[in-house]
Structure 1
Amino acid sequence: MHIVQCVTYFHLSPLPLHLRTHPRTMEVEVKLRLPTAEAHQRVADLLAANHKVSHLQENVFFDGVNGELSSKKTVLRLRFYGADAHRCVVAVKGKAVIVDGISRVSEEEEEVADAATAHSCLADPQRLFILDSSLINRVAKEFQVQSFACLGGFRNVRNVFHWKDLVLELDETQYPFGTSYEIECETSDAEHARSVLEDFLHQNGIPFSYSTTSKFATFRSGKLPEIP
């Protein structure tokens, strides 16, 4: 799979409003950064018996050519799954607020019926016209976007574990400028989940720090955050 690095422009026309959309929610996650590949592997080894699934993800982001989305602290993302990009999910997210390793961000998602056509938009963004995405259509209308810019993106290898009462996502994120490692846990009780994870990492001598930026913010900065 090829990650788009250049900025490409296209015009969006109205689309049919019939695909299934997940209502906008507030996503709350614990985000703990691991400093090295060795720390990441150590976590994977300790949780191996609880492994459920692995995902190869390709994330590509868009803004309006005049910054219509970014000026409102909003981002549009296409996420593809698998080496063959057999599944695609569109997401619209607000700006993540991360405090003490707990991230809160508004999010709305929609499954794309034709993942192959969606992936072809990386080479020919004007094919977004035929995606039949009510979410993209609504974003264009609400933010008065006449043309979009492709911002590029990054890959993420995500291993999912069901451990205790938590669903853990162990990420290896491959940016154009380096690789970072992180544990994420979406939860309704972030303080409890963070405490459980911190105890687990401390007991096993695994170094970590609180994540301070979202993956998208890291991508846009062009460099990995400094490790405390």
Structure 2
Amino acid sequence: MEIEIKIRLPSEQDTIKLEDALGGHPSSTENQDNVFFDGVHKELIKSKLVFRIRIIEKSSKEPIAVVALKGNAVLVDGIAHVEEEEEQIDIETARRIITNPNLISEEAKNHRLLQKIVDRVPCNDGYAQMGRFRNVRNKYPWKEYVVEVDRTTYPHGSCYEVEIESTDPVKAKEQMTHLLQEHGIAFGNSQKNKFENMIYGTLD
């Protein structure tokens, strides 16, 4: 179970102010290409499951790809709970699947998590992309946390978000809220996760 706080920032200006408050120099930056898949009859989403392949690029490093299966996501008062399983996948295999989702069943024979996805919810008539968005993630060490500052670009617009994974999300949220207020940074609770914003065409 992944537990994290999700705080929405209204603008690039507020995002820059927060990054300055966090020290201004991220420990790492990830350029993420997030691609989502389902059966052609929406078999996975009907089972409250989300299947994603993420390609991650970091400066001076070879890109990597990660398969994720998420389920039963709940977001209340800026605190998200989601069942999540992730596993790295060969980058060329990931790119082939993105180009042709109907390769998923064939490629699953050589990948544990892909095979689990195929077996858990059969999609006998094939697969298709559900949607896609890009995200730039800056990571900052702060107190006992790693603060992730996201700039997400959808076909319908952009949004800004702060995420902190923690086993004590209430404490983490209180501390981050105090920092934002101390520096006069506007913020609010995220109302939807990134996948929902992609699906519904929102920026909440």
TM-score after normalising by structure 2: 0.92
Give the Cα separation in 2 of the matches to 1:33 and 1:49: 19
Aligned positions of 1:70-89 closer than 5 A: 70-82=45-57, 86-89=63-66
**Alignment-derived partner of residue 91 in structure 2:** 115
State the number of aligned residues: 199
- Displacement of 1:123 after TM fit? 2.0
Q: Which of 175, 178, 200 is the aligned partner of 1:199?
A: 178
C-alpha contact 1:121 1:127 (8 A) present in aligned 2: yes
C-alpha contact 2:49 2:71 (8 A) present in aligned 1: yes
C-alpha contact 1:61 1:78 (8 A) present in aligned 2: yes
Give the Cα separation in 1 of the matches to 2:47 and 2:176: 33
- Displacement of 1:127 after TM fit? 3.8
| Richer in helix (by share) | 2
Give the Cα separation in 1 of the matches to 2:26 and 2:120: 41
> What are the superposed Cα offsets for residues 109-153 of structure 1, whole Å, 9 maximum, x if unpaired?
1111x2023113222334432362221112111112222121121
C-alpha contact 1:117 1:127 (8 A) present in aligned 2: no
Q: Which of 135, 150, 156 is the aligned partner of 1:171?
A: 150
Give the Cα separation in 1 of the matches to 2:191 and 2:73: 10
Give the Cα separation in 2 of the matches to 1:37 and 1:85: 28
Residue 56 to residue 28, structure 1, CA distance change in 2 (3 Å): same
TM-score after normalising by structure 1: 0.83
AA aligned to 1:133 is H
Runs of at least 5 residues in structure 2 that lack an aligned partner in the other structure? none
Question: Is residue 219 from structure 1 mapped to residue 195 from structure 2 by the alignment?
Answer: no
Runs of at least 5 residues in structure 1 that lack an aligned partner in the other structure? 1-25
Q: Which of 143, 162, 165 is the aligned partner of 1:186?
A: 165
**Alignment-derived partner of residue 139 in structure 2:** 160
C-alpha contact 1:85 1:119 (8 A) present in aligned 2: no
Give the Cα separation in 2 of the matches to 1:95 and 1:149: 21
Q: Which of 26, 34, 59 is the aligned partner of 2:9?
A: 34
Aligned positions of 1:22-101 closer than 5 A: 26-48=1-23, 51-82=26-57, 86-101=63-78
C-alpha contact 1:154 1:175 (8 A) present in aligned 2: yes
- Displacement of 1:224 after TM fit? 1.8
- Displacement of 1:82 after TM fit? 1.0
Give the Cα separation in 1 of the matches to 2:95 and 2:159: 25
Give the Cα separation in 1 of the matches to 2:189 and 2:199: 19
C-alpha contact 1:37 1:181 (8 A) present in aligned 2: yes
C-alpha contact 1:173 1:180 (8 A) present in aligned 2: yes
Q: Which of 77, 97, 120 is the aligned partner of 1:142?
A: 120
